[in-house]
Amino acid sequence: MEEQVKNIEQEHHSDNSELASRGKRLAAAIIDIIIFLPLVIIIARPLGLIDLELTEEPPEFDLEQTIQLFIISQVLFLLVQGYLLHSRGQSIGKVILKTRIVAMDGTMLGLGKLYFIRYFVFSLIAQIPVIGAPISICNILFIFGKEQRCLHDRLAGTKVITA
């Protein structure tokens, strides 16, 4: 038993792991969105924050609605992904695709750093009119660099490896 614990600890602290492919990272993000988006709709629709009526114009949200939807989304994100992120450095999509978020030296990070720096900051930036969308796109495009690290990885000091 003690040897198994040591093996698990070594696995979580190894810095010579293979980087996860861009395709696996994209697929994991898509899985997370497929799981997460319906949950947001289930909660936000009865509150009148989301209208699913098809119209020619995209819906516009006032500041209060935007803030409420943001808070609901962040709370749901933590409820759905928080435990796995904290205990394994993985979202549900990353578990399915066998990838993991680790610090640059290969060690596990706590939920605080993973959530607040890697997820929350860029979720908040995405809400800023005019500049939020371009910054979000720039964040993602950084994955095409040599290190295959998005801007959120660079800010948080993380990389995504094969688990």
Q: How confident is the model at residue 46 (pLDDT cuts 50, 70, 90)?
A: confident
Retrieve residue 6's tokens: 């040591």
What is the average pLDDT across 67-74?
A: 92
Distance CA 85, CA 94 (A): 10
The set of residues, in sequence order, having a beta carbon less than 8 Å from that of 136 and lying 6+ positions away, is 122, 125, 126
Q: Which has the minimum average pLDDT: 1-5, 103-107, 114-118, 150-154?
A: 1-5
pLDDT number for residue 60: 75
Digit-coded pLDDT (tens) for 71-129: 999 999 999 999 999 999 999 999 999 999 999 999 999 899 899 999 999 999 999 99
Encode pLDDT of 25-38 as tens digits: 999 999 999 999 99
How many other CB atoms are found less than 10 A from the CB of residue 76? 16
Which two three-digit tokens encode residue 117? 């720096």
